[in-house]
Amino acid sequence: MTKVAKGSLLAAALLCAGPARAVDWGASGMIGYQQGLGIRASGDALNLVRGAPLGLSLSVAYVFMDPGDPAAARSIFINDATDGTPETSGHSWTLGLNAVWQLRVPGTEDFGLLLGPRFSSFSGRFKYVGGNEDFTITSDEWGVGTGVQCILPLSRHWGIALSVGFDWYPSATLYGHDTSYSTAGTIVNGRNAYTWADANAAVNQPQFVPSILIGAAWQP
């Protein structure tokens, strides 16, 4: 079982562990920008605390990403060769668990301010056709995120879901082949005196991640 899957199960268990009272449940599916084309599924449990507009929201997102500069990544992680035609692809899985503070905003439902931890699992593939190089750079990162979300109601059960947010991942380690560079300054099998700053500039792993998404929301 992957780290994202384990985290999703744990967060789902926390989401369902609220007190036995009239909790407002909801779910949404959204698409938009999240350092690339992002597809996100969310589940909400609102009004968890009697007398306070507090809830929890769990989200899982898959993002199609530009993994970075193939020439720089090759030099920093592999070798100094320049032959071959580069082909690249990248993606990340992002798991978020938010505390939601609800506000009353006319024309919307479940308007909330979000704050909570994030976990991101990034993978970028760099392939040089005709150059005999095919390598993947990965990174698993913990961070924090904030934002706002709301629903524009269309009917009793359905509405338009909107979300705007920003995530920050302050520390990470980039792994490629047998080489790694860390924000803490730890370098394993580094090449040509390259540093974390060089690796970070070459690879587009999640670090500062704005997002804006729109989709459909359902409430029972």
Residue 131 is predicted with a pLDDT of 85
Q: Domain of 181: which CATH number?
A: 2.40.160.70
Q: What is the mean pLDDT of residues 100-123?
A: 93
pLDDT tens by residue, 7-19: 545 444 444 444 4
pLDDT at 3 over 80: no
Residue 109 is predicted with a pLDDT of 83
Q: Could you give the number of structural domains in the chain?
A: 1
pLDDT winner (highest mean) among 5-14, 20-29, 107-116: 107-116
Q: Which residue has 């380690």 as its token pair?
A: 173
Instruction: Read off the pTM.
Output: 0.85
Residue 22 is predicted with a pLDDT of 67
pLDDT tens by residue, 124-158: 999 999 888 899 999 999 999 999 999 999 999 99
Q: What is the mean pLDDT of residues 28-32?
A: 98
Residue 81 is predicted with a pLDDT of 84
pLDDT at 76 over 60: yes
pLDDT tens by residue, 149-183: 999 999 999 999 999 999 999 999 999 989 999 99
pLDDT at 6 over 60: no
Q: What is the mean pLDDT of residues 28-48?
A: 96
Q: Average pLDDT of the chain?
A: 90
Give the range of the structural domain holding residue 73, as residue numbers without chain letter: 3-17+24-218
Q: What is the mean pLDDT of residues 57-70?
A: 97
212: Cβ contacts below 8 Å, ≥ 6 apart: 32, 33, 163, 164, 165
pLDDT at 71 over 90: yes
Whether residue 100 contacts residue 54, with contact meaning beta carbons closer than 8 Å, is answered with: yes
Side chain identity at 98, as an amino acid letter? Answer: N
Q: How confident is the model at residue 115 (pLDDT cuts 50, 70, 90)?
A: very high
pLDDT at 189 over 50: yes
* Helix/strand/coil (H/E/C) assignment for every residue in the chain: CCHHHHHHHHHHHHHCCCCCCCCEEEEEEEEEECCCEEEEEEEEEECCECCECEEEEEEEEEEEECCECHHHHHHHHCCCCCCCEEEEEEEEEEEEEEEEEEECCCCCEEEEEEEEEEEEEEEEEEEEECCCEEEEEEEEEEEEEEEEEEEEECCCCEEEEEEEEEEECCCCEEEECCEEEECCCCEECCCCCCCHHHHHHHECCCCEEEEEEEEEEECC
